[in-house]
Amino acid sequence: MVLAFSLVAVFQLGGWAFHQLLGLLVNVLIAFFLALAIEPAVSRMASHGLRRGLATFLVFLGLVIVSVGFVTLLGSLLAGQIIKMIEGFPAYLDSVISWINTHFDTELKRVDIQENLLRSDWLRDYVQNSATEALDVSAQVLGGLFRLLTITLFSFYFAADSPRLRRALCSVLPPAKQAEVLRA
C-alpha cells in the first residue's frame, strides 16, 4: 500500500514538475530547431576557417538585420494604413450618417454624435479598461522578450557547440544507431 501511494505521489510530483517546466522545454525545443536551421550556414562558414562561435554570431547578426528590416517595413506599412484610416474616418462617418439620414428619415449630425459619445459612461469605462489592459499587454511583451532571449541563447549554444553536442549524444548510443542519428 505504501509503495502504491509512493508511486502515485512520485507520478503526481513528476506531472507537476513537467507542467511547470513545459514553457522552458518548448523554448529549448524551438531553440534546437532554430539551431538545426542555421547549422548549414554555420558549418559552411566554419569550413572556411572561421571559429564556430564567430560564425554563429555572424549568422545570428544577419538574421537580426533581416528581421529588423522586415518588422520595420511591415510597421511602416501598418502605420501608413492606420494614418490613412484615421484621416479618412470623418469622411467615412459623414457618409454613414448621410446614409442613415436618407434611409431612416432622421436628422443626425456628427457634432451631436461626438458630444453624446464624449459624455457617455461607455467611453469612460472603455478608457479605464484600456489602461488596465495596457499593463497586461506590457507584461506579456516583457515575457515575450524574455522568451525570445531564452530561445536565442539556447539556439546560439546549440549551433556553436553542435559537433560536441552530437558527439555527446552519439556516445551513449550503440554504433549501429549513431550513423542513423547523425544522418537524421
Give the single-character DSSP code of 173: S
Distances (CA, A) of 71 to 65, 87, 159: 10, 24, 25
pLDDT above 70 covers a percentage of the chain that reads 100
Quick: pLDDT tens for 11-59.
Answer: 999 999 999 999 999 999 999 999 999 999 999 999 999 999 999 999 9
User: Residue with C-alpha cell 547578426?
Assistant: 61
Query: At 63, is the pLDDT very low, low, confident or very high (cuts 50, 70, 90)?
Result: very high
